[in-house]
């Protein structure tokens, strides 16, 4: 598929990199049987794995346990290095919701062997992404934002960004210390508890009253 072009209030952005944050909600860390990290856990996905709302998802062939993970997603609008936390929100151009699809059985095998996660996290169509809404700090309380994930109408996940172990300001500060953030960079900020399996034919809906509602169906 062609690379998604994003427009925020008439300004175009070409997605550059997808940074993903793992273990950023305490209850999710507990459900994984893990321990809270001392610094953000960062992994990446290729931008070609973005799937826009309404597209059909296909079950990966190299795994059998596909999990949904709903996340608040940020679009970076300005270049920055070592961004102070006090100024971090000014680097955000847009906000949406997304799914960090994960092959949990593959991830478990890789973790046990001490190997990288790419096969479990960066496969085709692993980054369903909603439409971005322009971020305005006067109207969007980014650090107290409710969002949900439902499968076939049943609520699976319900989160609030205030429960992040590493809040948005801190994530931008830390990421910009490791990489120079650039316009078009995308940040998946972590998932709350309630992750679970998807089966062929399932419809996944992710929703926030502030951002919008986005849906995908897994092919049979």
Query: At 76, which CATH number?
Result: 3.90.850.10
Residue 31 lies in a domain: yes
Residue 101 lies in a domain: yes
pLDDT of residue 4: 75
pLDDT less than 50: residues of the chain: 1-2
pLDDT of residue 1: 40
Q: Is the pTM of this model over 0.75?
A: yes
Q: What angle do CA 199, 43, 32 make, to 5 degrees?
A: 55
Tokens at residue 26, please? 């305490």
Residue 100 lies in a domain: yes
Residue 104 lies in a domain: yes
Residue 153 region, left (φ>0) first, then alpha (ψ -120 to 50), else beta? left
How many structural domains does the chain have? 1
Determine the distance from the C-alpha atom of residue 201 to the mean position of all C-alpha atoms in its chain, rounded to a whole number: 22
For residue 54, give the DSSP letter.
Answer: T
Residues 6+ apart with CB under 8 A from 44: 17, 18, 19, 20, 122
Count of beta carbons in the 10 Å neighbourhood of residue 90? 14
- H or E element that contains 170: helix 168-178
Residue 122 lies in a domain: yes
- As a whole number of Å, the CA-based R_g of the chain is 16
Residue 1 lies in a domain: no
Q: Which domain holds residue 56?
A: 6-218
């Amino acid at each position: 598929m062609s690379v998604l072009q994003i427009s925020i209030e008439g300004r175009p952005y070409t997605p550059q990199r997808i940074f993903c944050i793992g273990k950023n909600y305490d209850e999710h860390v507990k459900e994984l049987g893990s321990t809270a990290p001392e610094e953000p856990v960062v992994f990446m996905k290729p931008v070609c794995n973005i799937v826009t709302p309404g597209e059909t998802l296909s079950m990966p062939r190299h795994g059998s346990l596909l999990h949904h993970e709903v996340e608040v997603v940020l679009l970076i609008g300005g270049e920055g290095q070592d961004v102070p936390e006090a100024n971090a929100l000014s680097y955000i151009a847009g906000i949406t919701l997304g799914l960090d699809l994960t092959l949990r059985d593959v991830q478990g095998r890789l973790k046990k062997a001490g190997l990288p996660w790419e096969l479990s996290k960066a496969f085709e169509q692993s980054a369903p992404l909603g439409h971005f809404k322009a971020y305005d700090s006067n109207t969007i309380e980014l650090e107290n934002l409710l969002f949900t994930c439902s499968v076939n109408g049943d609520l699976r996940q319900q989160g609030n960004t205030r429960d992040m172990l590493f809040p948005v300001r801190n994530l931008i500060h830390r990421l910009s210390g490791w990489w120079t953030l650039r316009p078009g960079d995308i940040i998946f900020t972590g998932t709350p508890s309630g992750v679970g399996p998807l089966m062929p034919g399932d419809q996944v809906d992710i929703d926030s009253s502030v951002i919008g509602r986005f849906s995908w169906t897994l092919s049979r």
